[in-house]
Amino acid sequence: MMRCIKFILMLKPFKITLMNIIRRFLFKDLDIRGQHLSINHTWQAMINDRGYSKQVRQLFGELSALA
């Protein structure tokens, strides 16, 4: 039997800076919370014309998201 989960997207605080988006979310009934972020503009500026290998870009992207 599947349990219905209420998903609440919290729009406050909601930050948009230079085409970067940060959204906080929470699963009310499961006491789970987190953040979804999109750093597309900043990411492109960071790796543009650097010549990083695929593995380095992936690690660099993960570290950037954590920061």
| pLDDT tens digits for range 5-48 | 444 444 445 555 556 777 888 887 888 888 877 777 777 777 88
Burial 9-43 (b: 16+ CB within 10 A, else e): eeeeeeeeeeeeeebbeeeeeeeeeeeeeebeeeb
pTM: predicted TM-score of the whole model, two decimal places: 0.45
**Per-residue model confidence (pLDDT) at position 60:** 85
**Per-residue model confidence (pLDDT) at position 9:** 47
Of 67, 45, 47, which is closest to residue 58 (Cα–Cα)? 47
**Collapsing DSSP states into helix, strand and coil, what is residue 20?**
strand
